[in-house]
Amino acid sequence: MLKKSILWSILVLPTVVLAQSGKTEKEKNKINPAVDSTKVDSTKSYVLSTANVVANRTTIPSSTLRLGENLLVTPQNIQVIDQRLLNDQMILTTAEGLSRNVSGVRTITHQEEGSVGIAVRGFQASNLRNGMDVSGSFGPLREDMAFVERVEFVKGPAGFMMGNTQPGGFYNIVTKKPSGNNQRTAQMTLGSYNLLRAAVDIDQRLSTDGKFLGRFNVMGTKKGNFQQNVGHEQFVLNPSFKYNASENTNVIFEYILSQNNFEGGFSKYAYGIDGFKEVKKNFSFSDPIMDPTKSWEHNIYGTINHNFNEDWLLTAQFGYVRSEMEGASLYANYNTIALKDGANGVKKGDVTRNLSINDALNTSTVGQVFTRGKFKTGEVNHNILAGLDMGKKFYVADWSEAGSIVDPSKKLPVNADGEVIFNIYNPVYGNLTKDMLPVYDRSKSLRERGANYLSDYSYSSVHIQDEVRFLQDKLRVAAGLRYTATKKVSIANNGNEVKNEAFTPRFSVTGLLTPTFTLYALYDETFQEQVGLLLDGGTADPSYGRNREIGLKKTWFQNKLMTNLTAYHLTKTNMLTAAGVDNPGRFEQSGEATSKGIELDVNGVINKNWNVVFNYAYTDAKVTKDKDPKKIGGMLYGTARHISNAWIKYTIADGNLEGLGFSAGYEYQAKRATWPVVQDHKYLPDDLFSIDLGASYQKNNYHIALLVNNVTNRYNYVGFYPGAWRYTHYGWRAVNPQGFRLNLAYKF
């Protein structure tokens, strides 16, 4: 079993803007004054240089990305997952296959009851909410879709948006906000493993003049799991308010409370001695005696947006996220598994377990001020984006072991030290008692207990970009520059403050070959501060990323379907890796990683009957430089050489069966990297493959939908070979079991 401190370290290395789609408030009103930027009507027209482009919801980015442009003319691979697709696939959290809708993206199945891990182009993705980077060493907690309007994936460094992010890219969670449409939705979801979920979304005008708007989301979930002694209870409260002070000025305030109590969440790895899939999918190291781990999170967001005129706007926004967790999990003691039958009654697969603590606190305080506008010099049009970003992040955690499970009375099978024996091939649950568990002392503060993990860093950056447009805006050349300065304090470097700074440029060229066909080239860099204690006691150096990218974008069927074809080459320096089980909480820093590949994305509507999502990615992401020659050529942990996904929905639009729909999709990943990587075993022996089928019916205000995941019940998994961190056994996590979900919704 992986030691928890090492596992967490590997995973965690390192608003609400009201102007929509580049339009000022007056321009928005000319289009549709009642429509929010995250709910673009696909029948409305958006002026795009010389062309009148009909946009679907997945071609218009949220205003939180600051772009102010249709994605057709944005020189970057950006994919939008809207509320319609989230509902069709019945995705309830960001840990449930969200990444299947975007090329080159994988969800890292690990400790997803806490914070989700998503990899883009082989690197861990940064997590933004409403355009602000809230990534932390732990947290933010996984997002529940009860407060999510849409998710936007941005590939590459994207320094012009947020320079302190990972080179592979980031995903931006756009939260639900008041729209004033006086719409209320109640829904209930039932499913496999005793899934019970209820949610209400109320979007309402709160004043007769329409200036004061409110929205309230509440959700409660109780769910078991296909693995034994695993489950969770979660609830979300999300009130938000919008005040239209004038035609040109708006204010939004949001609060989100999310709490999740889960059982067995960090004990779900399975072991094998002769190979993968040796034990049943429902295997778990947990036990009914374990109390739930509690995690909770507070979010506060505020935004002021002002349009000076039809050409210039100013936005200021603030965010605060506080993520906490307290609990414990059962883990196998490191390399105590018996590889064969032995003396004194030892049986193959015998192992002892310990109690490991799961206490963590992560806070992110972030703020932004930016302006966007345009002016002309002669016949040349200039589009300016400039701003200031600031943030402060704090992290402390206790991942220590409280001790082994013992039975002094020896009523249960024990070894010579009195440690209770657990056999992976014949697991017995429910025989532990509280007096067998070690007593953990939480009388000391978390700061004192977690001093080795404590870090506190802040950053500030300024950026400016000018996009110059020629030939009636058909040729666009942009140049941008960001300056970022950071300060950090941790146990590393004897606790002294460490400062770093960097300039990161961005250049792009975009050509509109036709009103629906664009070609672009992009060069972008990123600078990312890293926190971590090195073996010699020093602090980790920042990481630098560099991306070169070319792409083609084309819209079809009256611009309702968009296709993206992208080729890229990016590098990341100063890679951090865990120092091993002998040095928990410490890292080694050396080397460079390179990721290159090709991506194809298809997303949108063919006609009133067909909705299509298809993507394919070839990703070659590996270590190219390192002090240890054995590591060179090793695949990055978030990599699968080939990834392909599809989702197709057909809806009957006329006749007696109007509103009846059928959907089908698949996920496929081939040549998947092991995690952690073992040099003599580059790939897992099995590909990941899953087929989903669904049906739905909508009439008037009622909607009912049924979805069956992994209809063939294929045993999908992720894992590692013996030799990873000197483990003597195979280890894996089972994923994607067969299951169903039934959703009932009513709008009133």
Residue 618 in contact with residue 606, Cβ under 8 Å? no
3-state helix, strand, coil in the chain (%, to 5): 5, 55, 40
Give the tokens for residue 507.
């250049």
pLDDT at 138: 82
Dihedral-angle region of residue 17 (phi above 0 means left; psi in -120 to 50 means alpha; beta otherwise): beta
Element (H, E) at 298: strand 293-307
- Asked whether residue 11 carries a pLDDT value surpassing 60, the answer given is no
Give the tokens for residue 692.
């989903």
The CB density around residue 344, as the number of other CB atoms within 10 Å, is 6
Residue 57 pLDDT level (bands cut at 50, 70, 90): low
Tell me the average pLDDT of the chain: 88
Name residues whose C-beta falls within 8 Å of residue 486's C-beta, 6 or more positions apart in sequence. Answer: 164, 457, 458, 459, 499, 500, 501, 529, 542
Residue 114 pLDDT level (bands cut at 50, 70, 90): confident
Name residues whose C-beta falls within 8 Å of residue 114's C-beta, 6 or more positions apart in sequence. Answer: 138, 139, 141, 142, 265, 266, 295, 325, 358, 360
pLDDT at 159: 59
pLDDT at 198: 98
- Asked whether residue 2 carries a pLDDT value surpassing 50, the answer given is no
3-state secondary structure of 639: coil
Least trusted range by pLDDT, from 42-51, 74-83, 185-194, 313-322: 42-51
Give the tokens for residue 720.
């590692």
Per-position DSSP letters for 143-188, written without gaps between them: PBGGGEEEEEEEES--TTT-SSS-TTEEEEEEEP------EEEEEE
Residue 161 pLDDT level (bands cut at 50, 70, 90): low
Q: What is the pLDDT of residues 685-707, one digit of tens each?
A: 999 999 999 999 999 999 999 99
Give the tokens for residue 611.
């909705």
**10: phi then psi, degrees, rounded to nearest 5:** -65, -40
Measured between alpha carbons, how far is residue 744 from residues 80, 260, 403, 405, 697 in Å? 25, 23, 47, 45, 10
Measured between alpha carbons, how far is residue 299 from residues 153, 228, 237, 257 in Å? 21, 32, 10, 6
The distance of Cα 454 from the centroid of its chain, to the nearest Å, equals 23
- Asked whether residue 535 carries a pLDDT value surpassing 50, the answer given is yes
- Asked whether residue 46 carries a pLDDT value surpassing 80, the answer given is no
Mean pLDDT of 531-550: 89
Mean pLDDT of 118-128: 91
The distance of Cα 428 from the centroid of its chain, to the nearest Å, equals 35
d(C-alpha 624, C-alpha 592), whole Å: 6
Q: What is the pLDDT of residues 337-351, one digit of tens each?
A: 999 999 989 999 999
pLDDT at 653: 94
pTM, rounded to two decimals? 0.90
pLDDT at 3: 40
% residues pLDDT > 70 (the chain): 91
Residue 470 pLDDT level (bands cut at 50, 70, 90): very high
Mean pLDDT of 348-372: 95
d(C-alpha 276, C-alpha 274), whole Å: 7
Dihedral-angle region of residue 288 (phi above 0 means left; psi in -120 to 50 means alpha; beta otherwise): alpha
Three-state secondary structure of 720-738: ECCCHHHCCCEEEEEECCC
pLDDT at 242: 98
Name residues whose C-beta falls within 8 Å of residue 419's C-beta, 6 or more positions apart in sequence. Answer: 333, 352, 404, 405, 406
Residue 134 in contact with residue 319, Cβ under 8 Å? yes
Residue 679 in contact with residue 236, Cβ under 8 Å? no
Mean pLDDT of 472-490: 94
Residue 297 in contact with residue 323, Cβ under 8 Å? yes
- Asked whether residue 320 carries a pLDDT value surpassing 70, the answer given is yes
In the DSSP assignment, the letter for residue 46 is: E
Mean pLDDT of 211-221: 98
Residue 370 in contact with residue 323, Cβ under 8 Å? no
> For tokens 């400039």, what's the residue?
386
3-state secondary structure of 661: strand
Round to the nearest angstrom and report the end-to-end CA distance of the chain: 50
Residue 668 pLDDT level (bands cut at 50, 70, 90): very high
The type of residue at 29 is N
The CB density around residue 218, as the number of other CB atoms within 10 Å, is 17
Element (H, E) at 498: strand 498-514
Q: What is the pLDDT of residues 485-499, one digit of tens each?
A: 999 998 887 888 999
Mean pLDDT of 232-251: 96
Quote the longest CA-to-CA distance of the chain: 91
Residue 197 in contact with residue 172, Cβ under 8 Å? no
3-state secondary structure of 66: coil
pLDDT at 160: 62
